[in-house]
Structures are given as structure tokens and as C-alpha cells.
Structure 1
Amino acid sequence: MKCKKCGEKASIHMRQHKLALCKEHYLEWVPEQTERFIKKYEMFNREEKILVAVSGGKDSLSLWDILVRLGYQVDGLYLGLGIDGGINYSHESQRLTEEFAQRNNLKLHVVDVEKEYGQSIPMLAQSSHRGYGKPCAVCGLAKRHEMNRVARDLGYDVLATGHNLDDEAAVLFGNTLHWASDYLLRQGPVLPGTDGLSRKVKPLCRFYEREMTAYAIMRGIEYIYEECPFAEGSQSIFYKESLNLLETARPGAKLIFYLSFLEAKKSGNLFIEKNESLRHVHACPKCGQPTTTPDFCSFCRMIEKAAAEVE
């Protein structure tokens, strides 16, 4: 297979795009496409301050690398979750993230959840109740809260995450199976900012996971290969595996699925009515973040319950 641009031996063949590229031209193509997606979905401009949530994985580190190469004002945020597993998962992911920032002379904010709130994610999962007992649910809630808090407190205009197409298609698949209308209405490349919340964007939402793996390897980005110890057996992995079977038989199926959803949403053809009665947002009395719950936000309620368990 030859590179479409120069005719040299291709390093990657993307069947869904009918495109083969050598290393040099692939490393040009990915930032070019990222810039195109940023403009297409009006994610941010060069005057805005961007905070990238980095986990030590290939997607978030690659996103940080791409945005720096494109010349944006971008810093990183690493959340220490206290997840161990056989390789001391959090320690290793933090080490790789900090080394990436130091090597590229980038600014990295590090927040340790256990130091901040007295309990790690596994501890919170073990002690919390009412639907927050599963580690993944606790982790998701904590990460959303802390990313929003840091972006707000430090004055960032935009919060960027490294979700790729495989991530987005799996979430869409799950939400469609359960017809989770509220989640479907919110899913997309951009979640507009509100009072107390920075705009959230996903610049890699149209890149396959395989494409981001190739980018990280070709750029020499060292990242954590292992999955989170709590991810084993999760629904998201099951959805990804199911979509992979479809993609193997029909190259481009994931991209068509996701883009067709975005088009249907844009044109108002999702056949989902927004429940306005659930949209009364107020500031949480404890942390100040917007919430639709009657009193404290879900995160603050979880922390209080976990603290009560310890006492």
C-alpha cells in the first residue's frame, strides 16, 4: 500500500476513508483534520484559554500534543483518583502525564482527589450509596465535578477531553438502546457553557481509536497501555466490542452511525421532547456548581455520605 500524497510506503491504511498515508503525511493529516473539526463545530478560537483533561492515555496526551502543535493556548489537568490495580494504575498514569508535560515544557495542574476530599475513588465507591456504589459511576461523577471546578476556578474558557469516535459511538449505542433521551440531547462535539461551567469540547470525536493509537506511536508519545482495573466487564467495553464486529463487516459504520446522529439532532429529527421541568438549574450551596437537584449537587451529597460512613 502506497501513501496517497507522496507514493512512498504507507504506514497506515484507513479503510473507512479509503486513504493510506506514510508516517510524515499522517502526522500532518491528523492535526489538519482536528483543526477542521474545531472550526466545523465552532469549539473554540485562538484567543480562548483551553484546559485539556489528561489521563496518561493515548487520546488525551495526543490531543494535548495536537493542540500545542496547532498553536492554541492550552494547559493540562490531571486528576489523581487513587486507583491501584496490579500496576498501581494512578501512579503510573500520573508519572507518564507529568513526564510528557516536562518534556514539552507544558503547564500541568494536578489534583489529588483523596487529598482534596479525604477519600480516593475506590474508597468513595465502597462507602457511597444510592446508585453511586459502582466505581465507574463514582469515578465519572468525581471527574466531571473536578474538571468543572478547576476550569471555573482557574478561569479557563474551554474544557477539552480526548474522547474518540469509538468512545462516542459506544455511548451513543448505549443511550439509544435505553432511549436515554436526556443523555442523547446532550451528546455531541460541543456542550455549551453556562454560568459556572466552561464549554466542553471533544476535538477527537471523529477519529477512530486505531487512528489515535497510530498517532501516539508515530509521535513517540509514551502512554499507559493498560485499561483501568475497574473497566473490566463494563458495559462501555461490551458496546465497543459489539460495534467493532459491525465495523469489521462494514468499514465506516461507526462514523456513519455517529455523524447520522449529529445530523438528525441538528435537523430536529430525533423525535425526543425536552423535559423543561427538569431544567431548573441553581448553584449548589456547598461547591457553587450548577445542579438540577433540589439541594446539594450529586457530588457533594456523595462526599457527605462517604464522610458519614467513615465517622
Structure 2
Amino acid sequence: MKCKKCGERASINMRQHRMALCKDHFLEWIPEQTERFIKKYNMFTRDEKILVAVSGGKDSLSLWDILVRLGYKADGLYLGLGIDGGVNYSNESHRLTEEFARANNLTLHVVDVEKEYGHSIPVLSEVTHRGYGKPCSVCGLTKRHEMNRIARDFGYDVLATGHNLDDEAAVLFGNTLQWSADYLLRQGPVLPSAEGLARKVKPLCRFYEREMTAYAIARGIEYIYDECPFAEGATQVFYKESLNQLENVRPGTKLTFYLRFLDARQSGELFVQRDKDAAHIHPCAKCGQPTSAPELCSFCRMLEKASEVTGL
């Protein structure tokens, strides 16, 4: 297989694009395409401050690397969740993130959830009985709260996450199976800022996971290979595996599924936009972040319940 651009031996064959590239041209192609997506979806400009949520995984570290290569002002945010595993998952992901930031002379904000709030994610899940034995819902709630808090407190214009096409297609698949209209309305490359909520963007949303793995390896980015120990058996993993089976038979299925959804969403063919004023948004009485609840936001209510149970 030869590189489409130079004719030399190709390092990666992207069947969905009917294109093979050598290492050097692949490392040029990924940032070029990322820049195109940023402009296409009006994610941000070079005058804006970007906060990249980094987990120590291939996608988030690659995103940070790409944005810096493209000349954007991008800092990182690492959230210590207190999740153990075969390699002490949180400690290892923290180490790799710190090393990447130090090696590239980048600014990294670090929030240790247990030190900040007195409980790790697994403990919060256990004492509040959220998640039915898995802390995924508590983890998601905490990450959303903390990412928005840091973006607000440090004056960032936009929050960027490393969600790739496999992630987005799996979420879309699950929400479509359930016809979760509220989630479908909010899914997309950009979630605009509103009433104290930072603008959220996903610059890698059109890249396959395989492509991001290849990019990280080709760039020499050391990342944590292990999945979160709580990911096993998760519904999201099942959706990814199901879509992979379709992709193997018909290359490009995931990309077509996602892009056609975005087209239909943009044109208004599938969904009727709901009244944005239906739910009154106001600052949480405790943390000040936006909420539609009467007084405290979901995160602060969770912390209160944890304190009642543990006495801490």
C-alpha cells in the first residue's frame, strides 16, 4: 500500500476515506483536518483561551498536542478521581499527563477530587448509592462540574474534550435506541456557552479511534493503555462493539451515521427545538454554578448526602 501524497510505503490505511498515508503525511493530515473541523463548526479562534480536559489517554493528550502544534493557546486540566485498578489507574494517568505537560512546557491545572471534596469518586458513588454499583454517573457529574468550574474561575473561553468518532457514534447509537430527545438535541461538535456554562467543543469528533491511536504512537506520546477499571461491561462499550461489527462489513458506517445525524439536526428535519426558557436556570446557592434545581445543583446535593452518610 502506497501513500496517496508521496507514493512511498504507507503506514496507515484508512478504508473509510479510501486513503493510505505514510507516517509524515499522516502526521500532517491529522492537524490539517482538525483545523478544518474547528473552522467548519466555529469552535474557537486563536484569540480565545482554550482549556483541554486531559485524562492521560491517547485522545485527550493527542488533542492537546494538535492544538499546540496548530498555534492555539491551550492549557490542560487533569481531574484526579481516585480510581484504582491493576496499575493504580488515577496515579498512572496523572503521572503521564504531568510528564506530557512538563516535556512540552505547557500549563496544567490539577484538581484532586478527594482532596478538594473529601471523597474519591468510588466512595461518592458507594455512599450516595448512585450508579447501581458503578461510579460512572457520579464520575460524569463530577467531571462536568469541575471542568466548568475551572474554566469559569480561570477565565477560559472554551472547554475542549478529546471525544473521538467512536465515542460520539456510540453515544448517538444509544440515545437513538432510547429516543432520548433531550440528549440528541444537545449532541454535537459544539455546545454553546449559556448562563455560566462554558462553551464545550470536540475537535476530534470526526476521527476514528484507530486514527487517534496511530497519531499518538507516531508522535511518540506516552499514554495510559488501560481502560478505566469500571468500563468493563458498560453499556457504552457494548454500543461501540456493535458499531465496530457494522464498520468491519461496511467501512465508513460510523462516520456516515454521525455526519448524517449532524446534517439532520442542523436542518431541523428530525427535531423541534424546545423552549429554552422552559427550565429556569439560576446559580446554585452553594457553588454558584448554573442549575435548574430549586436551590442546590446535583453535584452539591450529592456532596451533602455523602457528608450526611460519612459524617465528614
| Amino acid aligned to 1:35 | E
* Contact residue 134 and residue 230 of structure 2 kept, 8 A: no
Alignment-mate amino acid for residue 170 of structure 1: A
Question: After superposition, where does 1:270-281 map in structure 2 within 5 Å?
Answer: 270-272=270-272, 274=274, 276=276, 278-281=278-281
Cα deviation per residue 1:45-80 (whole Å; 9 max; x = unaligned)?
000000000000000000000000000000000000
Shift of 1:292: 1.5
Give unmatched runs, 5+ long, in structure 1: none
- Residue 124 of structure 1 is matched in structure 2 by 124
Mean Cα deviation higher: 195-204 or 209-218: 195-204
Q: 1:134 to 1:151 in 2, by over 3 A?
A: same
How far is the alpha carbon of 1:273 from its aligned partner?
A: 5.2
Distance 1:287 1:98, change over 3 A: same
1:127-166 alignment to 2 at 5 Å?
127-129=127-129, 134-166=134-166
Asked if 2 retains the 8 angstrom alpha-carbon contact of 1:181 and 1:272, the reply is: no
Instruction: Indicate conservation of the 8 Å contact 2:130/2:138, yes or no.
Output: no
Measure how far apart 1:236 and its partner are: 0.4
Amino acid at match of 1:88: N
Equivalent residue, structure 2, for 1:201: 201
Cross-structure match for 1:41: 41
2:239 matched to which residue of 1? Answer: 239
Q: Please tell me whether residue 106 in structure 1 is matched to residue 141 in structure 2.
A: no
Alpha-carbon distance between aligned partners in 1 of 2:282 and 2:198, rounded to the nearest angstrom: 16
SS in 2 for 1:214: helix
Native 8 Å contact 1:50 1:159 kept in 2: yes
- The 2-side partners of 1:132 and 1:296 are apart by 23
TM-score (normalizing by structure 2): 0.97
| Pairwise CA distance, 1:228 | 0.2
Return closer, same or farther for 1:69/1:273 CA change in 2, 3 Å cut-off.
closer
- Cα-to-partner distance string for 1:176-201 (whole Å, 9 max, x where unaligned): 11111110000000000013221100
Q: Secondary structure at the match of 1:74?
A: strand
The DSSP-based 3-state class of the residue aligned with 1:116 is helix
1:265 pairs with 2:291: no
On the 8 A contact 2:125/2:131 being kept in 1, the answer is no
Report the counterpart of residue 298 of structure 1 in structure 2: 298
- Cα distance in 1 for partners of 2:277, 2:182 equals 12
- Aligned counterparts of 2:255 and 2:38: Cα–Cα separation in 1: 17
Letter in 1 for 2:180: A
Report the Cα distance in structure 2 between the residues aligned to 1:132 and 1:106, rounded to whole angstroms.
38
Aligned residues: 311
User: Could you report, residue by residue, the CA deviation over 1:108-140 in whole angstroms, capped at 9, with x for unpaired residues?
Assistant: 000000000000001101001366863000000
Partner residue, 1:10:
10
1:295 Cα offset (Å): 2.0
Report the alpha carbon displacement of residue 85 of structure 1 after superposing the two structures with TM: 1.2
Instruction: Give the superposed CA RMSD.
Output: 1.2
Identical-residue share of aligned pairs (%): 77
Return the alpha-carbon distance in structure 2 between the equivalents of residues 231 and 90 of structure 1: 14
In 2, Cα distance between equivalents of 1:290 and 1:132: 27
Partner of 1:74: 74
Contact 1:15 1:251 in 2 (8 A): yes
Which residue identity does 1:119 align to in structure 2?
H
* Alignment match, 2:63: 63
| Most deviating of 226-235 and 192-201 | 192-201
* Unmatched runs of 5 consecutive residues or more in structure 2: none
State the alpha-carbon separation in 2 of the partners of residues 309 and 119 from structure 1: 12
Q: Distance in 1 between matches of 2:25 and 2:89?
A: 34
Residue 308 of structure 2 is matched in structure 1 by 308
TM-score by length of 1: 0.98
**What letter matches 1:239 in structure 2?**
Y
